[in-house]
């Protein structure tokens, strides 16, 4: 591990957060890559998991592991209590109201598919989407908040409409107003674009769509670990997020929805524990959220996800965001000084990432050369290929920041990109 990683001088006094001390909670960062200290700057894809989260999961596995619900033995009761407690913790973490329920999922992708497919499955008497209806999706979306709506449109005869961003990658309320009509049945948008860092005015957009009678869907995967409004304060019918982007375990996440909206969804997984009663020729489904959680859940993952929420709250989202904003400002200034480099959304001071292209140099080459220096970034379309095509820039290099990243790592990133440009030109 580098001395910089443990140096208290790496602390950011103005933000109230000391990444040098926090790094001790992340063992994965204490290694070298190709002879260099690891600088992990791929947090928009997956954040690392701290020891308190790992320990919470290990404690469950070592002392409480059993299947939940219906069991009369002690371990089953403990496991059920842990699962229920995790649900309560996460509802509080996102600021859900009593009318909002949390459904455990494997992540944002499953949650969004649960909504998109659940709105048209179940027959003509149940489906929310019908021929002639319209679905509006923003042009900033990860594929997980686009492809399910493409499929829903094909299966129902509804029309998919895209709220396109401008040349700077921003979407505007006036453009949404022009798209919305009495045919609009669904509006889906991200809280933070994973490819560019753009933060759309989703609060006002959700309200506009809700007033038009549409069901509203928010992809909060890139935002849930940061400061964002409580769900109870948003005109949001469905909100999806993932554990692995908020210092939690992979394969975990949640769909949080208004109870009435969740009740519109036809369950995708039919079987154990999502039923109220079963006969050979028919079945009655349980109430939400249980109705949408068929099968044995990932109880260990739920415990870890709740521990991650507690970890974030303990550090303080405002402190985390201030630290990341400072790192991003440093990265923006350094990268913009390099000749031939174009940065996406430099105005997005709230973003946790920088995404850029370099004239005549493929992002994969930059990523490979950075890896030779122990710097982990992401290259490609970042599961947002239509947005890249719309902006006309092609694939990008993306560096993304978390609470454990340091100013030294940002300097290494800038120096590494400068080196890559010298080598490739």
Band of residue 361 on the pLDDT scale cut at 50, 70, 90: very high
**Residue 11: pLDDT band by 50, 70, 90 thresholds?**
very low
- Helix (H) / strand (E) containing 147: helix 147-156
Contact (CB, 8 A) for 197 and 354: yes
Q: Do 13 and 158 fall into the same domain? A: no
Alpha-carbon gap, residue 375 to 413, rounded angstroms: 7
To the query of whether residue 383 is one of the catalytic residues in this protein, the response is yes
Whether the ω angle into residue 342 lies within 30 degrees of 0, i.e. cis, is no
Instruction: Look up the pTM and report it.
Output: 0.94
User: What CA–CA distance (Å, rounded) separates 210 from 220?
Assistant: 18
Report yes or no on 56 lying in a domain: no
Answer yes or no: do 207 and 283 share one domain. yes
Is the same domain home to 237 and 99?
Answer: yes
CA separation for the pair 260, 67 (Å, rounded): 29
Q: Do both 417 and 305 map to the same domain? A: no
In which band, very low, low, confident or very high, does the pLDDT at 5 lie, cut at 50, 70 and 90?
A: very low
The reported pLDDT for the residue numbered 1 is 34
Count how many residues are written for the chain.
425
- Host domain of residue 72: 64-313
Please state, for a pLDDT cut of 90, what percent of the chain lies above it.
Answer: 90
Catalytic choice (164, 383, 414, 418): 383
pLDDT at 272: 86
Judge whether 58 lies within some domain: no
Residues 305, 331 share a domain: no
| Residues 142-175 pLDDT 10s | 999 999 999 999 999 999 999 999 999 999 999 9
Strand 184-190 and strand 134-138: pairing? Answer: parallel
The residue with greater pLDDT, 188 or 4, is 188
β-sheet bridge partners, residue 33: 36
Quote the CA–CA distance of 330 and 385 in Å, as a whole number.
27
CA-CA distance, 356 to 346, in Å (whole number)? Answer: 10
pLDDT classification of 125: cutoffs 50, 70, 90: low
Distance separating alpha carbons of residues 221 and 54, to the nearest angstrom? 21
Residue finishing a domain among 267, 283, 313: 313
Q: Are residues 226 and 293 located together in one domain of the fold?
A: yes
Q: Does residue 169 share a domain with residue 20?
A: no
Query: Within this chain, do residues 387 and 402 fall inside the same structural domain, yes or no?
Result: yes
My answer on whether 300 and 352 are in the same domain is: no
Model confidence over 44-100: pLDDT tens digits?
999 999 999 999 999 999 999 999 987 899 999 999 999 999 999 999 999 999 999
Asked which of 117-131, 205-219, 290-304 is least confident by mean pLDDT, the reply is 117-131
Give the three-class secondary structure for 135: strand
> 38 and 125 share a domain?
no
CA distance 358 to 343: 9
Tell me the CATH number at 113.
3.40.640.10
Residue 229 maps to a domain? yes
Count: domains in the chain: 2
Q: Does residue 39 lie in a domain region? A: yes
Query: Are 140 and 278 found together in one domain?
Result: yes
| Residue 269 structure tokens | 């997984």
């Amino acid at each position: 591990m580098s001395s910089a990683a443990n140096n208290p001088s790496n602390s950011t006094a103005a933000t109230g957060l000391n990444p040098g001390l926090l790094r001790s909670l992340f063992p994965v960062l204490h290694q070298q890559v190709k002879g260099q200290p690891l600088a992990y700057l791929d947090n928009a894809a997956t954040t690392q998991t701290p020891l308190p989260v790992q320990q919470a999961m290990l404690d469950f596995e070592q002392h409480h592991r059993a299947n939940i619900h219906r069991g009369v033995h002690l371990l089953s009761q403990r496991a059920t209590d842990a699962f229920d407690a995790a649900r309560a913790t996460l509802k509080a973490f996102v600021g859900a109201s009593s009318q909002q329920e949390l459904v455990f999922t494997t992540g944002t992708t499953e949650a969004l598919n649960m909504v998109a497919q659940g709105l048209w499955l179940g027959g003509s008497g149940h489906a929310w989407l019908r021929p002639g209806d319209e679905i509006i999706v923003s042009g900033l979306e990860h594929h997980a908040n686009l492809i399910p709506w493409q499929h829903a449109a094909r299966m129902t005869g509804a029309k998919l409409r895209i709220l396109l961003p401008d040349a700077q990658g921003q979407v505007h309320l006036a453009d949404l107003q022009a798209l919305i009509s009495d045919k609009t049945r669904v509006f889906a948008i991200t809280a933070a674009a994973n490819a560019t860092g753009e933060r759309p005015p989703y609060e006002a957009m959700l309200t506009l769509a809700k007033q038009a009678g549409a069901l509203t869907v928010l992809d909060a995967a890139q935002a849930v670990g940061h400061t964002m409004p409580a769900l109870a304060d948003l005109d949001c019918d469905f909100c999806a997020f993932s554990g692995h982007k908020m210092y939690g375990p992979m394969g975990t996440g949640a769909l949080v929805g208004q109870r009435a909206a969740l009740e519109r969804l036809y369950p995708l997984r039919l079987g154990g524990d999502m039923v109220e009663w079963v006969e050979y020729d028919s079945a009655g489904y349980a109430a939400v959220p249980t109705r949408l959680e068929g099968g044995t859940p990932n109880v260990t993952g739920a415990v870890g996800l709740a521990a991650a929420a507690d970890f974030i709250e303990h550090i303080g989202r405002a402190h985390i965001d201030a630290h990341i904003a400072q790192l991003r400002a440093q990265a923006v200034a350094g990268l913009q000084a390099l000749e031939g480099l174009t940065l996406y959304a430099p105005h997005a001071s709230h973003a946790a990432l920088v995404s850029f292209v370099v004239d005549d140099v493929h992002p994969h080459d930059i990523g490979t050369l950075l890896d030779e220096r122990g710097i982990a970034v992401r290259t490609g379309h970042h599961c947002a290929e239509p947005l890249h095509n719309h902006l006309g820039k092609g694939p990008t290099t993306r560096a993304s920041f978390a609470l454990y990243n340091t100013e030294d790592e940002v300097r290494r990133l800038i120096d590494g990109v400068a080196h890559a440009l010298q080598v490739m030109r």
